[in-house]
Amino acid sequence: MAQLALPQSNAWLLTGPARVGKRALATVLAARHNCAHPDGPLPCGECASCRAAALGVHPDVLVLSARTVTSTGKAARRKIIPIGAVLSARDQGKDYEQHVYEFLEVRPTYRRRTVIIDGAEHLNPEAANALLKLIEEPPHRALFVLLAEDLRSVIPTLVSRASRLNVPPVPDTELARLLTDGHQPGDGALLAFAAGRAGLLSDLDAVRTALNDARQLTGALQEGLWPALEAAAALEKTFSPALHPEALRFVWRDEPGTVRAAADTALEALQEALEAYANPGLSFQVFALTLRDAFGEAG
Dump pLDDT digits (tens) for 188-237. Answer: 788 888 888 877 777 788 889 999 999 999 999 989 999 999 999 999 99
Total residue length of the chain:
299
The answer to whether residues 128 and 194 belong to one domain is no
Say what the pTM is: 0.73
- The domain tally of the chain equals 2
Task: Report pLDDT digits (tens) over 165-178.
Answer: 999 888 877 777 76
Q: Above 60 in pLDDT, residue 69?
A: no
Q: Which amino acid is at 47?
A: C
- Residues 143, 90 contacting (CB under 8 angstroms): no
The answer to whether residues 247 and 160 belong to one domain is no
Alpha carbons 104 and 113: distance in angstroms, whole number = 7
Structural domain boundaries enclosing 45? 2-168
The answer to whether residues 226 and 164 belong to one domain is no
Helix/strand/coil for 13: strand
Task: Report pLDDT digits (tens) over 96-147.
Answer: 888 999 999 999 999 999 999 999 999 999 999 999 999 999 999 999 999 9
Element spanning 284, H or E: helix 280-295
Alpha carbons 173 and 177: distance in angstroms, whole number = 7
Final residue before a domain boundary, out of 116, 151, 168: 168
